[in-house]
Amino acid sequence: MLIARQRKILEIIAANELATVDELCAELSVSEATVRRDLAALEAEGLVNRTWGGAVPVSSVAYGLYVHERSQENLREKQMIVRAAADLIHEGEVIALDGGTTCMELAKQLRRFQRITVFTNSLLAAHILGNCSVTVHVIGGRLRSGEFSMVGNVARDTILRLHFDTFFMGASGFDLENGPTDFNLDDVEIKQCFLRQSRERVALVDHSKFGRTSLASICNVEDLTYLVSDPGISQDHIAALQSKGLTVLVGKDD
């Protein structure tokens, strides 16, 4: 979770497209060491790129705080989910990630692997994986403004030429009748393409999403291999999902 000073640093960098350490020290009345620690933390979150003597925004002002704020919702639950999800991955596999904020959190877990290949339509997930041993391929296409994910015909056609061991996806809602759902039709199309081309299909869904239905269904419950959630998921939901042949994993605190 960002502290107030780090939020202010983001605002300054976004407004000016560049901020030096000296400028940030003067603006915030803090030491150079404090600013450098904050910039390192912001870079680790994928929010800024550090430069010689300062930092620049990862992208436009529009991205900065919207996606990051959404990524902080139920963050503890997401972290439990992605730790459990990462245990499904083995070295040498080809992994697909969609553009959701839970998959961004999963990307941080993937940095510990040495010999996996990751395909993603998320520029943000790719950025998180940009300085590790993982081989990363970014799916091209039309940029979805504000989300920094690639969608549209080019992304769809590219995915349908590939084959993946495991696809990890988020959803904005999930119920037994409609399965996982999402509010954006472009995102739904890309998720469906990834699902079609993947041997294992994993939904990453925190407990708050159950019983909620968004605009469009992504797939049937039976189309999934695993569902990974957090300890807030009810036993009734687990039993109902298992009755449909779905393996349910529940993440835990470290």
What confidence score (pLDDT) does residue 14 get? 73
Q: How far apart are CA 75 and CA 81, in angstroms?
A: 10
Give the chain's domains with CATH numbers.
4-58 (1.10.10.10), 70-250 (3.40.50.1360)
pLDDT > 70: percent of the chain: 91
Which residues of the chain have a pLDDT value below 70?
A: 1, 15-17, 52, 58-72, 145-146
Is this structure's pTM higher than 0.85?
no
d(CA 193, CA 120): 12
- Transcribe 59-115 into DSSP letters: S-HHHHHHHHHHHTTTHHHHHHHHHHHHTT--TT-EEEE-SSHHHHHHHHHHTT-SS
Q: pLDDT tens digits, residue range 18-61?
A: 788 888 999 899 999 999 999 988 888 777 878 767 887 765 43
Report pLDDT for 22.
87
pLDDT of residue 237: 93
